[in-house]
Amino acid sequence: MKRTVVIDRQSAPQRLALAVEAVSAGGAVEVEKLLLLRRQGRSLLCEVIDPTPRSHRCELEYDVLVENARHAFESCGLAALLRDMPCEWSVVAADEGGQPVREKS
């Protein structure tokens, strides 16, 4: 079973190392309830979790969601540890449990 490691800006280096292991093993990392990271081939799939998926948004609002998630990813220190993996960003809706269910259009 693949695991999901939850991290935030205060995560200890050991927790970040566990997150890197999870991604390498095909698991996922949740960053501050904003972002779900998973390996997709040689890339890092960065799924920004839309907190209000039923809202109508303009493109700029999606850009802000991505920018906030990118900032959290960089601030927690994990981006530096995964810098060799190119990031592919998308915004996804989430189910009631916070898991991505579909890509936003």
User: Domain range spanning residue 17?
Assistant: 4-103
pTM, two decimal places: 0.84
pLDDT tens digits for 36-50?
999 999 999 999 998
Q: Does 5 have pLDDT greater than 80?
A: yes
| Residues forming a β-bridge with 101 | none
The DSSP secondary-structure symbol of 24 reads H
Please answer whether residues 82 and 20 qualify as being in contact, where contact means their C-beta atoms are separated by less than 8 angstroms: yes
Q: Using a pLDDT cut of 90, give the percent of the chain over it.
A: 72
- β strands within the chain, DSSP E: 4-7, 28-31, 35-40, 43-49, 87-94, 100-103
CA distances from 5 to 28, 56, 64, 72, 74 (A): 6, 30, 25, 15, 16
Q: Does 18 have pLDDT greater than 60?
A: yes
pLDDT tens digits for 50-97?
888 778 888 899 999 999 999 999 999 999 999 999 999 999 987 666
Domain count, the chain: 1
